[in-house]
């Protein structure tokens, strides 16, 4: 019998098409929002820093329900388009529209009414992001059951993420400078990014095809599916690795716009250059990370790259005030770890799917995608909450030429020791991850045999 391990590898076209979808969750939602949205709320829209951070965390309470729920529902959906594509197609256009609404400063709203507008806009955006990205992430483990091929798929996805993120980092300052004020700049930038978020999902939903052998009717309830996933130790270790690494990225992204302007002395219009350097370096390191994952176990490749990355954040603590060049250098050195954080936790988590199938007898990609999406967005929200209240409590003054010493110290801690602690914890979690390449191949074989036996039983019963 030919098992899934020996099936033909995916074409580059399929990997590239799937990778285009990462622009939405990773760049539009995972980079631009953490890097700019808190700054937009406080310095452009006029929302108090503490209120801005709090309203974003409140929006995440809804995430605790909708991410796993949408994932579980997609696991149970059976249509001629498959389990995932109907959600991706239905949510693509509303996602583009609601993303654009985030960057509007509504005329006549102030104080509580203004905060409620952004809370409502964020709720809608987040709902449609969940409807689309949960099934989108669930597709990845289905595209290939080979562990190394999955790393290749994620590499394509993250290459798209980093390259388009680099393009956004270069283009956004140009857009801001093309308009007489930041309100108009953010308005048009939000509309453009929203469009670029929605179109790839329309293409993915229209052109990709799902595996027919994964369309058997589900036997487990939603509660049982979620319980099986949540009791899996390998799943939680993989999620912890990804969440800690992403939280470190989200915190640095959220605070870097403040750090480079008020500590390093880099002009506000040039602050995105630092992000461009980090993303450019990460793009160059993607092939090396893919090669490391192929030569080593994924977890040890992650530990090696992340330890180097943590060292660069230690260096940021010692960068003198009004020193731009060291910040650029450290940004370039961080690329290896940033690339590893984008690729390896997702690839490790995908390998848990066969362990869950062996335990439960059913595929659980939808719940996997939902929880993964929740962890990424929760990391962004925790980062924005922490930065918002740090600025509030240390006396941050929007637009002031000079900030208080307590504010500057808080900014430095947030870009150095906080991410260092998170990355060390991520390395410890990765080292404990139990699924090796050999174990995964055994799990794939067992899952194939169980699936074949179930199909034979269904045919005999018919």
Note the pLDDT tens digit of each residue in 58-106.
776 666 667 777 877 887 788 888 888 899 999 999 999 999 999 999 9
CATH code at 85? Answer: 1.20.1250.20
pLDDT at 5: 45
Whether 226 contacts 72, CB under 8 Å: yes
Mean pLDDT of 111-135: 89
Range of the domain at 336: 4-209+218-454
Indicate the pLDDT class of residue 1, thresholds 50, 70 and 90: very low
What pLDDT sits at residue 334? 87
pLDDT band at 346 (very low <50, low <70, confident <90, very high): confident
Check residue 356 and give its pLDDT. 84
pLDDT of residue 159: 86
C-alpha to C-alpha distance for 455 and 17, rounded to whole angstroms: 31
- The CA dihedral of 360, 426, 340, 95, to the nearest 10 degrees, is 60
Cα–Cα distance for residue pair 136/300, rounded to 1 Å: 27
| pLDDT number for residue 148 | 84
Which has the higher per-residue pLDDT, 214 or 69?
A: 69
CA distance linking residue 116 with residue 107, whole number of Å: 14
The verdict on residue 460 lying in a domain is: no
Q: Quickly count: other Cβ atoms within 10 Å of residue 2's Cβ.
A: 7
In a domain, 69, yes or no: yes
Sign of the CA dihedral running 446, 451, 454, 459: negative
- pTM value surpassing 0.85: no
Q: Tell me whether residue 318 is exposed, middle or buried, using C-beta atoms within 10 angstroms of its C-beta: 0 to 12, 13 to 18, 19 or more.
A: exposed
Average pLDDT of the segment spanning 409-415: 88
pLDDT at 283 (0 to 100): 85
For residue 158, being part of any structural domain is answered with yes
Residue 462 domain-assigned? no
SS3 sequence, the chain? CCCHHHCCCCCHHHHHHHHHCCHHHHHHHHHHHHHHHHHHHHHHHCCCHHHHHHHHHHHHHHHHHHHHHHHHHHHHCCCCCCCCHHHHHHHHHHHHHHHHHCCCCCCCCCHHHHHHHHHHHHHHHHHHHHHHHHHHHHHHHHHCCCHHHHHHHHHHHHHHHHHHHHHHHHHHHHHHHCCCCHHHHHHHHHHHHHHHHHHHHHHHHHHCCCCHHHCCCCCCCHHHHHHHHHCCHHHHHHHHHHHHHHHHHHHHHHHHHHHHHHCCCCCHHHCHHHHHHHHHHHHHHHHHHHHHHHHCCHHHHHHHHHHHHHHHHHHHHCCCCCCCHHHHHHHHHCHHHHHHHHHHHHHHHHCHHHHHHHHHCCCCHHHHHHHHHHHHHHHHHHHHHHHHHHHHHCCCCCCCCCCCHHHHHHHHHHHCHHHHHHHHHHHHHHHCCCCCHHHHHHHHHHHHHHHHHHHHHHHHHC
Residue 4: the pLDDT is 43
- Stretch among 77-81, 266-270, 451-455 having the lowest mean pLDDT: 266-270
Domain-embedded: residue 202: yes
Q: Is residue 367 in some structural domain?
A: yes
Share of the chain above pLDDT 70, in %: 90
Residue 299 scores a pLDDT above 90:
yes
- pLDDT band for position 3 (cuts 50, 70, 90): very low
461: in domain: no
Mean pLDDT of 342-371: 81
Mean pLDDT over residues 415-441, rounded?
94
Q: Check whether 176 has a pLDDT greater than 90.
A: no
Number of domains in the chain: 1
**Is residue 275 within 8 Å of residue 293, measured between CB atoms?**
no
Supply angle C-alpha 454, 460, 461, rounded to 5. Answer: 90
**pLDDT score recorded for residue 20:** 92
Establish if 459 belongs to a structural domain.
Answer: no
């Amino acid at each position: 019998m030919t098992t899934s391990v020996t099936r033909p590898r995916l074409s580059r076209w399929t990997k590239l098409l799937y990778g285009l979808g990462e622009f939405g969750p990773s760049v539009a939602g995972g980079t631009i929002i953490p890097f700019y949205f808190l700054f937009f709320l406080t310095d452009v829209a006029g929302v108090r820093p503490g209120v801005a951070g709090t309203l974003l965390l409140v929006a995440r309470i809804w995430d605790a329900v909708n991410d796993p729920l949408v994932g579980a529902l997609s696991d149970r959906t059976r249509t001629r388009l498959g389990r995932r594509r109907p959600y991706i197609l239905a949510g693509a256009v509303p996602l583009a529209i609601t993303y654009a609404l985030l960057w509007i400063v509504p005329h006549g709203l102030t104080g509580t009414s203004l905060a409620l507008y952004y809370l409502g806009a964020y709720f809608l955006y987040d709902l449609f992001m969940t409807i689309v990205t949960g099934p989108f992430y669930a597709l990845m483990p289905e595209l290939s059951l080979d562990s190394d091929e999955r790393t290749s798929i994620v590499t394509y996805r993250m290459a798209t993420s980093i390259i388009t993120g680099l393009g956004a980092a270069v283009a956004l300052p140009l857009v801001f400078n093309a308009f007489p004020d930041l309100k108009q700049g953010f308005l048009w930038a939000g509309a453009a990014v929203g469009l670029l978020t929605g179109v790839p999902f329309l293409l993915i939903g229209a052109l990709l095809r799902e595996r027919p052998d994964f369309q058997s009717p589900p036997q487990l309830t939603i509660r049982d599916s979620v319980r099986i996933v949540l009791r899996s130790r390998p799943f939680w270790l993989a999620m912890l690795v990804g969440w800690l690494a992403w939280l470190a990225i989200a915190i640095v992204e959220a605070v870097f716009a403040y750090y480079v302007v008020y500590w390093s002395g880099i002009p506000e219009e040039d602050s995105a250059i630092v992000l461009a350097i980090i993303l450019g370096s990460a793009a160059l390191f993607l092939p090396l990370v893919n090669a490391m994952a192929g030569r080593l176990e994924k977890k040890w490749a992650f530990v090696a790259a992340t330890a180097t990355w943590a060292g660069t954040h230690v260096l940021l603590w010692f960068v003198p005030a009004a020193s731009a060049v060291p910040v650029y250098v450290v940004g370039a050195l961080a690329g290896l770890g940033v690339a590893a954080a984008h690729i390896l936790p997702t690839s490790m988590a995908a390998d848990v799917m066969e362990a869950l199938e062996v335990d439960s007898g059913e595929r659980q990609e939808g719940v996997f995608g939902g929880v993964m999406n929740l962890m990424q967005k929760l990391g962004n929200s925790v980062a924005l909450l922490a930065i918002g209240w740090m600025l509030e409590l240390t006396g941050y003054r929007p637009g002031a030429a000079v900030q208080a010493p307590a504010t500057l110290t808080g900014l430095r801690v947030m870009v150095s020791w906080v991410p260092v602690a998170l990355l060390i914890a991520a390395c410890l979690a990765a080292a404990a991850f139990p699924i090796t390449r050999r174990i995964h191949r055994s799990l794939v074989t067992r899952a194939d045999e169980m699936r074949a036996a179930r199909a034979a039983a269904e045919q005999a019963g018919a």
